Amino acid sequence: MRRVAAERAKRLLIRSFLAPQSSAAVSSPFSFLSSYSAAAMSTASTPVVSLDSINPKVLKCEYAVRGEIVNHAQLLQEDLKAKPGHHPFDEILYCNIGNPQSLGQQPVTFFREVLALCDHPSILDRDETHGLFSADAIARAWDILDVIPGRATGAYSHSQGIKGLREAIAAGIASRDGYPCNADDIFLTDGASPAVHMMMQLLIRSEKDGILCPIPQYPLYSASIALHGGSLVPYYLDEASGWGLEISELKKQLEDARSKGITVRSLVVINPGNPTGQVLSEENQRQIIEFCKKESLVLLADEVYQDNIYVGDKKFNSLKKIARSMGLGDKDISLVSFQSVSKGYYGECGKRGGYMEVTGFSADVREQIYKVASVNLCSNISGQILASLVMNPPKPGDESYDSFTAERDGILLSLARRAKALEDAFNSLEGVICNKAEGAMYLFPRIHLPKKAIEAAKAANSVPDTFYARRLLDATGIVVVPGSGFGQVPGTWHIRFTILPQEEKIPAIISRFKAFHESFMEEFRN
């Protein structure tokens, strides 16, 4: 019956195509396309996608590190090429982001030797290779290739990362902390940022779920919380005490959020601080861990600047190390630690390597984390290799050890000198107060803007510190991030300034900045 009906329909369709038609009728069996095109053209002026129709969570998301000021800087950079001498500066200095190699820092030789050999293993057996590469770089490349299935650095890996590389990272963590680390707790990611997003996906169910974040904070956190539909619960760092983290402030903000019906799921701690540069004391870390244990909060530990310590009386201790020293294990506290190859002395931002160590979660929840990781297939292999190298650099007795330590120490000591020079320069200026950078890569000076400057910003429909940063850029070519992009106590104004320009450029940058600031303050003097 169905076949008969189908054949009848087919004959009628053919007959209609072949039958003569009047001039008023459609002249072609495909003329309906013309009608469709006309209808489409009539609605072409209405965009399919508009700001009103996209995901509102995207509209709420902001990322000031690459925001308005940077966009303007990129336009100025193009203008400098097209019209040399048109501006009062001859280059744009991007002091807005922790991107060391973009400002002239050289890659660490040992790391790049191993990467090169892993990506082109056919040269490992050549005699000339031993004249170009150190013996331990060659040996390390063989070790790494032996744990990569098929020695294929261009293939997908396990979604958590290559098991042998995770084992190397776990060994490095255990050596750093003095406590065991399980390779199965390691998830290798394309830098720390995807790991943060994964945890936000896991923890945030609705806008009624909150994440305690420091203010000022790295805007990755506010952006990822917004994208995943949660609520940022701010806790303010105390600028007067060197950006101290007070437990009383945590309790206050937690209770306030709960009174509003928000379920606080997690506490974010950035140590060393970004943008604030403080390094937490062991006692403060113990207090934080006790707080999270008592309040049943997941502790998210951003520790990507762990190698960037510039003061002799402070040292980095991972929050996991402190928790284990307190006798707390997986059953006592849920803790996720983030590390990245983008920072430290290595500064390999473009290689996109990093990991998170996930502890204190049940087996069924870990399966869900693995599922989320699997959606992205795997992180890039070069980044995975670099993460293993960062956590296992050359050891005493290795051929590269002396040259490696000279490179590492040279970079870190230079960063410390740059931080001190910029700190002193800021504190010498009218209306500027700058805390010491104990670690990380930034200074976060507070600028007491004159009332007239604040009024001028308002008239320009701008936030005061953004107004200041824009004027600074136009006058000097120096790109900074307004403090409002990180959060700050209402009524205070800051800028974040990286310490990354090469050391020989620091005096000229200071001179340029001072001249601008003095002129700005004079122009808007009350």
User: For residues 317 and 337, is the Cβ–Cβ distance under 8 A?
Assistant: no
pLDDT digits (tens, 9 = 90+) for 197-255: 989 999 999 999 999 999 998 888 988 898 888 999 999 999 999 999 999 999 999 99
Read off the pLDDT of each residue in 96-102 and give the average, rounded to a whole number. 84
Closest CA to 336 of 320, 322, 317, 352: 320
Rounded mean pLDDT of the chain? 87
pLDDT higher for 307 or 41? 307
Read off the pLDDT of each residue in 429-438 and give the average, rounded to a whole number. 94
Residue 163 tokens, joined = 């098991």
Instruction: Tell me the percentage of the chain whose pLDDT exceeds 70.
Output: 89
pLDDT digits (tens, 9 = 90+) for 168-192: 999 999 999 999 999 999 999 988 8
Model confidence at 145: pLDDT above 90: yes
User: For residues 275 and 306, is the Cβ–Cβ distance under 8 A?
Assistant: no
Model confidence at 318: pLDDT above 90: yes
Q: Report the pLDDT value the prediction gives residue 237, as an integer from 0 to 100.
A: 95
CA gyration radius for the chain?
A: 28
Look at residue 455 and give its three-state secondary structure: helix
CA–CA distance, 156 with 141 (Å, rounded to integer)? 19
Residue 466 tokens, joined = 């953004």
User: For residues 334 and 360, is the Cβ–Cβ distance under 8 A?
Assistant: yes
Read off the pLDDT of each residue in 70-83 and give the average, rounded to a whole number. 82
Residue 29 tokens, joined = 């069996």
Per-residue burial over 17-42, b = 16 or more CB atoms within 10 Å of its CB, e = otherwise:
eeeeeeeeeeeeeeeeeeeeeeeeee
Q: Report the pLDDT value the prediction gives residue 356, as an integer from 0 to 100.
A: 94
Closest CA to 185 of 335, 304, 288: 335
Read off the pLDDT of each residue in 431-448 and give the average, rounded to a whole number. 94
Distances 216 to 41, 44, 273 between C-alpha atoms, Å:
50, 45, 9
User: For residues 227 and 235, is the Cβ–Cβ distance under 8 A?
Assistant: no
Q: Report the pLDDT value the prediction gives residue 66, as an integer from 0 to 100.
A: 59
CA angle (354, 182, 118) in 5-degree steps: 45
Quick one: pLDDT band at residue 430, thresholds 50, 70, 90? very high
Q: Report the pLDDT value the prediction gives residue 154, as an integer from 0 to 100.
A: 82
Read off the pLDDT of each residue in 65-91 and give the average, rounded to a whole number. 79
Distances 450 to 432, 518, 522 between C-alpha atoms, Å:
12, 12, 10
Q: 């469709």: which residue's tokens? A: 36
Closest CA to 133 of 475, 97, 142, 167: 142
Read off the pLDDT of each residue in 4-27 and give the average, rounded to a whole number. 45
pLDDT digits (tens, 9 = 90+) for 100-137: 888 888 999 999 999 999 999 888 888 888 888 899 99
The structural domains of the chain, ordered by start, are 57-92+403-524 (3.90.1150.10), 135-391 (3.40.640.10)
pLDDT higher for 34 or 506? 506
pLDDT higher for 468 or 50? 468
Residue 476 tokens, joined = 């000097």
Read off the pLDDT of each residue in 248-266 and give the average, rounded to a whole number. 95
Q: Report the pLDDT value the prediction gives residue 17, as an integer from 0 to 100.
A: 41
Q: Report the pLDDT value the prediction gives residue 375, as an integer from 0 to 100.
A: 83
Beta strands in 333-393 (DSSP E): 335-340, 354-359
Closest CA to 302 of 337, 335, 278: 337
Q: Report the pLDDT value the prediction gives residue 11, as an integer from 0 to 100.
A: 52
User: For residues 497 and 98, is the Cβ–Cβ distance under 8 A?
Assistant: no
Closest CA to 308 of 456, 448, 437, 451: 437
User: For residues 500 and 441, is the Cβ–Cβ distance under 8 A?
Assistant: yes
Secondary structure element (H or E) that encloses residue 34, with its range: helix 32-42
Distances 93 to 82, 100, 214, 449, 512 between C-alpha atoms, Å:
18, 12, 28, 23, 11
User: For residues 213 and 480, is the Cβ–Cβ distance under 8 A?
Assistant: no
Q: Report the pLDDT value the prediction gives residue 8, as an integer from 0 to 100.
A: 53
Quick one: pLDDT band at residue 61, thresholds 50, 70, 90? low
Helices marked H in 158-315: 163-177, 192-203, 219-227, 247-259, 282-295
pLDDT higher for 363 or 65? 363
Residue 317 tokens, joined = 């201790």
